[in-house]
Amino acid sequence: MNYEFTIIVPIYNEEENLERLEQELSAYISNTKTGTQVLLINDGSSDRSQQLIEGICGRHSEFHFLEFAENRGLSAAIKAGFDHADTPLVGYMDSDLQTAPEDFDLLLQHIGEYDLVTGVRASRKDSFVKNMSSLIANKIRRAFTNDGMDDTGCPLKVIRTEYARRIPMFKGLHRFLPAMILLQQGKILQVPVRHFPRMAGKAKFGLWNRLLGPLADCFAYLWMKKKYINYTIAKKG
């Protein structure tokens, strides 16, 4: 089958969510009009996640996996997905299912005109502390990047693979994907998507990861923006 779209799903110790993840993603693949495959990235899990992942991939030809030798973090998992995707479009979502795979179709409607379409979580179902820290972090990041995005932490995005592969990833850069597309003179859009409470497993980000870490990353982004190489070929012969 000629797939058009690869969904990257980073996984770190999410054994309690993987059965439901399999059900929801396989149902989405069956119903969407876009030829879709799934790439599960096991980011060095220490629980039964890898065993369950291999079972899922054995049951569905559209599912594939990569297993890291050790835990390397969310940005590394996303980069691995970008590196190994073989479709024109790539997207990603979290394995905790706080966003719905069906909402990828809301993003795919616009990807013809844009190079990145990201979700913005409407009526977030997180704790007050988590919501407030994310709100503050997004305001700080937006002041540094001027990307106009309200919720870059939303784990539901669709990107043209040619743009995704040109992003020079570093740890924490997953929060700056829209800004990195703008550096490539690409076009970006945000679209409201649904958000659900976490049903199982534990959140992997605390106050440092969500607020203080991104602030430090903003300075790394500014350095990268100043040094970023971008060019357009006018003629070839």
Instruction: Give the C-alpha separation, 62 to 70, whole Å.
Output: 25
Whether 162 shows a pLDDT value over 80: the answer reads yes
Q: Convert the chain into a string of H (helix), E (strand) and C (coil).
A: CCCCEEEEEEECCCCCCHHHHHHHHHHHHHHCCCCEEEEEEECCCCCCHHHHHHHHHHHCCCEEEEECCCCCCHHHHHHHHHHHCCCCEEEECCCCCCCCHHHHHHHHCCCCCCCEEEEEECCCCCCHHHHHHHHHHHHHHHHHHCCCCCCCCCCCEEEEHHHHCCCCCCCCHHHHHHHHHHHCCCCEEEEEECCCCCCCCCCCCCHHHHHHHHHHHHHHHHHHHHHCCCCCCCCCC
Question: How high is the pLDDT of residue 71?
Answer: 95
Q: Is residue 233 part of a domain?
A: no
What residues make up the domain containing 146?
5-227
Mean pLDDT of the region 125-149: 67
Two structure tokens written together for 150? 């309200």
Domain presence at residue 154: yes
User: 236 in a domain, yes or no?
Assistant: no
Query: Number of folded domains in the chain?
Result: 1
Domain annotation covers residue 145: yes
Residue 117 counted as domain residue: yes
Has residue 121 been placed in a domain? yes
Give me the chain's average pLDDT, please.
Answer: 87
Q: Quick one: pLDDT at residue 210?
A: 59
Whole-number Cα distances in Å, 35 to 57, 62, 92, 108: 17, 10, 15, 12
The model's confidence at residue 169, banded by pLDDT at 50, 70 and 90, is confident
Q: Which residues pair with 64 in a beta bridge?
A: 39
CB-CB contact of 43 with 12 (8 Å): yes
The CATH number covering residue 186 comes to: 3.90.550.10
Position 237 in a domain:
no
Statement: residue 124 has pLDDT above 90: no
Answer yes or no: is 235 within a domain. Answer: no
